[in-house]
Chain A
């Protein structure tokens, strides 16, 4: 069924902190690992040890150089994965109903048994979040690790997406963005979390936290550290003069 649910009870998603991410790609590896060994067709690689390796990944980390109006350039690492959009164009274009959005929590999923591999949903996604599996020839995308978060056999601490669980810096947060009281919603509120490509009208659930502004001045105490004398006096003054005389 490719009609989008009018609203979803919860809006599960990620909040990614661009101020903290160090671009280590650990989330990429954890994602590839979990989603190769668990639910659905394994994320395959073609020519993995050859000249032109290609493979399906559900999470990719770009690095951007950002030069502000004034001040030095900064490097911003930018993880990119499915944003579980409220108005997901990838769902409505699907001819088979394989691409769907779960009404209870808003997760956008692919039913791999129904997918004909037409690729239209990947074209419809503005964010490049869907990749066709090179060997199973069905569409793969981030599931928010449904098979972890729904799995009651796992320890509570593990019932979050593999990327969030593994991120060594705590740059990734998982929660219900439909509940204004949730920790993730509070974080978005506090830090001015933003949507990617709002002009596309997809209403992404995932939010990105902007890098914090860098300090312009060193410190409020800095003025107190200003040199008290411009001219050296005492021993230093004598040394200065003596050296000067030596020419």
Chain B
């Protein structure tokens, strides 16, 4: 039976988990996850095995502010393979102060149904 060990990164506790593929009958695969201290570990583990995603945090240029960069992030995690494409888009962007935390800077990033939002206000 297929077994995989991995570390849950859904929270800073970092539980060490073991995932076993129990059965992959028809359309639904069943997994047995152990070692996780909370249910988020189970869903993270299965996801990491099937379609890993990551939150991207970075910065964009900002004009008329006391700093030259404004921190931003994806509103939700995006597929791991799209990280560098996302970074490339962010490189092109320049915003202007004042701006508020949580404002959307890019809507529907790369057609992923995820936005790029600001993570702080700058006056």
Is the pairing of A and B real?
Answer: no
